[in-house]
A and B are shown apart, each in its own frame.
Chain A
C-alpha cells in the first residue's frame, strides 16, 4: 500500500553487509568507498549503515541535514558516540553547505551586475587609466605581496626574537579543538609576518602525524617545503634552546610578566581548552622547572563577568608583538576582544593608533 521510493529496496538483515544490496538516492553514499571509511571492520560497517538510515530519518523528521557528506566527514561521524553529537555535527555540515550555496548564488548575481556595468558606457572618465587601461605603474599582484611578507618573516628568522608555540597538547584536546588550534596557528603565522617586526616562530613538539599539525598542513599545504618561513620541529623546546632563557607563559601561575625581556624565549602553550580546565601548561612548566609568567591582565583591564580570560593563540601573538615593539601594556592589550571587558564610554581624545610602527616610536 505504501511505497517509499528511497527505501523501497528491501534490505535483508543478514545480507546487510553486502554492499550491492543497498541502494539509495544519496549521491554521496553511492560514491562512498566504505572500506576506506571503516578500515574493513564489519562492526563499524554495520554502524555506518545504521548512520545512513539515521541521516535519512533525521531528514524526514525535519532536521537540518547536509545533502552531501564527504568521506572524512563520515569517518568523523562514525567516531561520535552519541546521537546528539551526530545530530549537531550534521547540522554544522548543513550550515557549511548552505554557506557555499549562498556564496555561489551571490557570485552569480554579482557577475551579471559586472557584465551590465561593462556594457554600460562609463560617465566618469577620471577613474579609468588612459591608453586603454595601461599604466606606468607595475601592478602589484598577490603573489608579490606574499613574497614581500615572506621576506619579512625570513628576515625575522635571521635577526628576530624567538617565540615558541608548544604543540604537545594534542592528547588533551578533542578533534574539534585540534582543528581550532590549527586555525589559530595559521593566523599566528600570517599575522606575524605582516607585522613590521615579526618573531622568529617555532612550533615545537609538532609531530607530523598529530591532528593539529595535519589540520595545519591542510590550511598551509606548503608548510613542509624548505623555503617556507616557519620553524616546525618535532623536538621539544628544551632541546632547541638553553633552559635559562625559556619562560613559559601560562595563565595559571601567579607571577606577572611586568617587564618584557628581549633576551628571553617565551613559550605559549598550543592548547584550545574549551572543555578542559586543567592547568596543563602550569604542570608542564613546573615539571620541567622553567620560569613561568602570565600576562598582567587584571592589572590593566577591567574584566566583565561571564566570558573567561582565555585568549586565542593569535591574540597572544599580537599582544607579544606589540609588547616587543613598544613595551606599553595598555597599548598591546587592546587586542583583547572588547566584549570580555567592562565597556567604558568612548572618549574621542584617546584614539589609540591601530598600527604601531618602529619609526613612530623612535621619533617621540
Chain B
C-alpha cells in the first residue's frame, strides 16, 4: 500500500506554487510600499494592502508554512511611524472636520505650529492632498474659501491638488470653479511641469473644456510618460462628450505605452451604455466594441467590471451567468466549446526565428552558450528534426525535490518520463548538461537509446535550447518542463515587445508540466490548455474570464493596479462570465466537482499527436489507493462527441 495518495502529491505540488506566489506577495507589498513612499499622501492614505484579501485557499487545502504576519510586516500603520502633523490632519478630517471659516483657519495654523515637516509653504497642498485621498470635496471647498477670504496666496501645487479632489469626487457640478482655477494656474505657469499639467488635465476632464487636455498630454510627454489615470480621465471625458473615436484612440495609445486603463473607464462606459439602453436606444454594438477591445489586448476585467457587464447586458434583455469552463473547454452553462489558442503560421515563424536571434544568441553568445555549441545544435536540428516532444532533462530529474535525493533516483525519474513518451511512440529530444554523463549508466543508456540526447556545456544554459528545439520542430511539438521560463520571456519582451503575447500564447498551449512520477513508474502530467484563456465570442455567446476578488490580489496603488498572480499564467482562469441571448438552466452537474481543479488535470484526456491516447494512468492508480470502485457511465472518446456528452464518475 502506498504511503500517500495522488491527491497529497498533487497538493504538495500546488503548495509549492502557492508558496511561491506568497513570496511574490511579500515582494510586491515591499515594492508597493516603496513606491508609496514617494509621495507624502499616498504613503499614508491610499490604504494599501491591509484591506486586500489573502489568496483563496482551495477546497480543503491548508497552508501552514505561510505566516501572514511576515507578509504584511513591513506595512506602516497610521499610529506608527507617521509624522504627527500628518496624523493630526488625517484624524481631524476623519473625526470632526472644522466647519466655520475661523475654525478652518485655526486648524491650518495649528498644523503649521505643531511640527516642522508641514510648513507654511506646503500646508495647503498637503491638506488638500489628504482631502482627495478621503474624497472630501466639502472640506476642500470651505478650505479654499477660507484662503480667499483670509487673502492667503494659493500656490500652484495646492490649486492642482484641489483639482484632484474634484476629480476624485467626480464633482461635475463645480464646472465654473474648476475652470477658474485652471485658468489661474495657466496664467501663473504658461509652461507647466508634468505634475501640474496632469492635475489640470484631471480637472478639465470634468468640464466642457476637456479638449485642452490633449494639448496638456503633449506637454506631459515632454518630460515623462503620462500615468494610466491621466489617460483614463481623458478617455472618460471623450466618451462623456460623445467623441467616441478619440476615446478609442487614446485607449489604444494608453495600452500601447504599457499603462493600465483603469476600471473606472470601463465602469463609466458601461454606465453610459446603460443610460442609453434605458432610453430605448440599444447599445449592443458599443458594448461589444468594449469586449472586442479587451479581447484584442488580452485583458482580463475585474470582478466589478464583470458584474457591471452582466448588468448592462441584462438591461438589453440578455442573460448573464457566472460560470466556469470545463477542462475540455466547454462552458458549463451554455455548453459552447471555447476555441483553442490560435497562433498563425507567420506569427509562429516570426517567434521561432526571433527566439534564436534574441534569446539563444542574444547580444553575446558566450553568456549562455558558445558559437560552436549553437552550431552543433543547429546541425542536430537540421538532421533530426522534427521531434514530437522535447524534454528538459535536468528540470525533470531535479523535480523530485530536495538536495538529498540520490542521482540514481533523479535518473530514474527522467527515465520514467522518457519511457512514458516512448510508449506513445514519440520521437523525443532530451536536453541536459554534460555532467549528466556521470549519471548511473543503466538509466542513461535507456535515455540515450530511446531518444536524441543533447548535452550542453556545464556552463551553458539549457532552457533556451529547449525552447528553440520545440519551436523549430513545428507548431505540433510540446515541451516538458516545470520551469515558467519567465527570464526568457522577459528577454524576448525586451528585444521585441510585439512577440511577448505570441510567446505567452505558445507557452500556454505547448508546455506540459510534470506533476509527479509514482513509485511504480507511472507518470502524471499536467497538459497545456486546450482552449484560449481570453475573451471569446462563441455561437453569439460571449465568454469572459475575469479576475475574481478572492483569488487575485489586486493592490490598488495610486493610479496603477498591480495584479499579483496567485496562479501561474499557465493555469486556466477559474472565473468566467457567460453572456447569452438565450436562457439556460443554471443547475448543471459539475463534472468531478468544480473546485477540484487539480484532480481534473490529473484525469484529463488529451489527443496525442501520434494517435488517440488517454492519460488515465493517474486516475486508475488513485482509484486503487482509495479503494474506489469505478463505474464509467459514459466516456467520450472523440473530441467531436465531447461537447455533447460529459463524463461522469460515480464514486
B residues 27-54 with Cβ under 8 Å of A? 35, 38-40
Determine if A257 is an interface residue (Cβ-Cβ < 8 Å).
Answer: no
A7 at the interface (CB under 8 A from B): yes
Q: Which chain B residue shows the least CB distance to A81?
A: B224
Q: Separation in Å of the A117 CB from the closest CB of chain B?
A: 32
Does residue A46 face the partner (Cβ distance < 8 Å to B)? yes
A3 and B153 contact, Cβ closer than 8 Å, known pairs A11-B189, A84-B38: yes
CA of A189 to CA of B315, assembled, Å = 76
Residue numbers in B under 8 Å from A47 (CB-CB):
222-223
Bits for A53-79, please: 1 = Cβ < 8 Å to B, else 0. Answer: 110111111110000000000000000
Q: Contacts A13-B191, A63-B40 known; A57 to B224 CB distance under 8 Å?
A: no
B154 near A60 with CB under 8 A, answer: no
Q: Smallest CB-CB separation from B219: which chain A residue?
A: A50
* Top 3 A-B pairs, shortest CB-CB distance: A60-B157, A283-B366, A54-B193
Compute how far the CA of A82 lies from the CA of B35 in the bound complex, rounded to whole angstroms: 14
Stretch at the interface among A127-135, A274-282, A311-319, A339-347: A274-282
B87 touches A (CB below 8 Å):
no
Contact of B191 among A50, A60, A84, A254 (CB under 8 A): A50
Given A11-B189, A54-B223, A62-B126, answer yes or no on A83-B195 (Cβ-Cβ < 8 Å). Answer: yes
Docked Cα-Cα span, A50 to B129, in Å, equals: 22
Contact A51 B193 (CB under 8 A): yes
Cα of A7 to Cα of B364 in the assembled complex, Å = 52
Contacts of B153 in A (CB 8 A): 2-5
How distant is the Cα of A82 from the Cα of B196 in the complex, in angstroms?
A: 15
- Most chain-B CB neighbours within 10 Å: which of A62, A87, A88, A287? A62
Q: Is B425 an interface residue (CB 8 A)?
A: no
Q: Residue on A with the closest CB to B161? A: A61
Residues of A within 8 A of B (CB): 1-7, 10-13, 16, 46-47, 49-51, 53-54, 56-63, 81-84, 87-88, 252-254, 278-280, 282-284, 286-287
Residues in B whose Cβ lies below 8 Å from that of A287 = 364, 366
Once the chains are docked, how many angstroms separate the CA of A279 from the CA of B158?
49
Q: Which of chain B's residues have a CB closer than 8 A to the CB of A57?
A: 156-157, 160, 193, 195-196
Q: Which of B122, B184, B366, B370 has most chain A Cβ within 10 Å?
A: B366
- B191 & A286 in contact (Cβ 8 Å cutoff): no
- Tell me, in angstroms, the Cα distance from A183 to B24 when the chains sit together: 33
Asked whether any CB of chain A lies closer than 8 Å to the CB of B169, the reply is: no
With A83-B195, A84-B38, A88-B38 already in contact, the answer to whether A60 and B158 are too (CB < 8 A) is: yes
Max chain B Cβ within 10 angstroms of own Cβ: one of A53, A63, A87: A53
Chain B residues, CB < 8 A from A5 = 153
**Contact B194 A254, beta carbon cutoff 8 Å:** no
Q: Is the CB of B364 within 8 A of A283?
A: yes
Write the nearest CB–CB distance from B554 to chain A, whole angstroms: 21
Q: CB within 8 A of A53: which of B125, B148, B192, B458?
A: B192
30 A-B pairs in the complex with CB atoms less than 8 angstroms apart:
A2-B153, A2-B154, A4-B155, A5-B153, A7-B188, A10-B187, A11-B190, A11-B191, A13-B190, A46-B191, A46-B222, A47-B222, A47-B223, A50-B222, A50-B223, A54-B193, A57-B193, A60-B122, A60-B125, A60-B155, A60-B157, A61-B40, A61-B125, A62-B117, A62-B125, A83-B195, A278-B364, A280-B364, A282-B367, A286-B366
Q: How many whole Å from B56's CB to the nearest CB in chain A?
A: 27
Q: Considering only CB atoms, which chain A residue lies closest to B362 in the complex?
A: A278
Contact assessment for B367 and A60 in the assembled complex, using a CB-CB cutoff below 8 Å = no
Decide yes or no whether B118 CB sits under 8 A from chain A: yes
- Report whether A279 and B184 are in contact in the complex, using a CB–CB cutoff of 8 Å: no
- Answer yes or no: B114 CB below 8 A from chain A CBs: no
Question: Is there an interface contact between B157 and A83, defined as CB atoms closer than 8 Å?
Answer: no
- Nearest CB on B from A75, distance (A): 15
122-158 of chain B: CB within 8 A of chain A: 122, 125-126, 129, 148, 153-158
Query: B15: shortest Cβ distance to chain A, in Å?
Result: 18
A168 CB to nearest chain B CB (Å): 13
Complex: A286 Cα to B195 Cα, angstroms: 49
> Is B612 located at the chain interface by the 8 A CB criterion?
no
A284-B366 in contact (CB<8A): yes
Question: Which residues of B are found within 8 Å of A56, using beta-carbon distances?
Answer: 156, 193
CB-nearest residue of chain A relative to B126? Answer: A62
B241 part of interface (Cβ distance < 8 Å):
no
Are A280 and B223 in contact, with the CB atoms below 8 A? no
Cα of A121 to Cα of B172 in the assembled complex, Å: 77
Which A residues are in CB contact (< 8 Å) with B190?
10-13, 16
* Interface contacts beyond A11-B191, A57-B157, A282-B366: sample of 11 additional A-B pairs, CB < 8 Å, sorted by A: A4-B153, A4-B156, A4-B188, A7-B156, A49-B191, A50-B223, A57-B195, A60-B157, A62-B126, A88-B38, A254-B458
Which B residue sits closest to A287, measured CB to CB?
Answer: B366
CB-CB under 8 A from A2, the residues of chain B are: 153-154, 184
Q: Is B92 an interface residue (CB 8 A)?
A: no
Contact of A62 among B118, B154, B187, B458 (CB under 8 A): B118
> Max chain B CB contacts within 10 Å: which of A2, A12, A59, A280?
A2
Check B121 against A60 for contact (C-beta < 8 Å).
Answer: yes
Contact yes or no, A83 B148, CB < 8 A = no
Which residues does chain B contribute within 8 Å of A282, judged by CB atoms?
Answer: 366-367, 459
B367 contacts A283, C-beta separation under 8 Å: yes
Q: How far is the CB of A227 from chain B (nearest CB, A)?
A: 39
B358-400 interface mask toward A, CB cutoff 8 Å, 1 = contact, 0 = none? 0000001011001000000000000000000000000000000
By a CB distance below 8 angstroms, the chain A residues around B367 are 278-280, 282-283
**Chain A residues, Cβ within 8 Å of B437:** none
Q: Do A1 and B148 touch (CB < 8 A)?
A: yes
Known contacts A49-B191, A57-B156, A286-B459; decide if A62 and B223 are in contact (CB<8 Å). Answer: no
Q: Within 8 Å CB of B121, what residues of A?
A: 59-60
Chain B neighbourhood of A63, CB < 8 A: 39-40
The reply to whether the CB of B225 lies closer than 8 angstroms to some CB of chain A is yes
Task: List chain A residues, Cβ under 8 A from B117.
Answer: 62
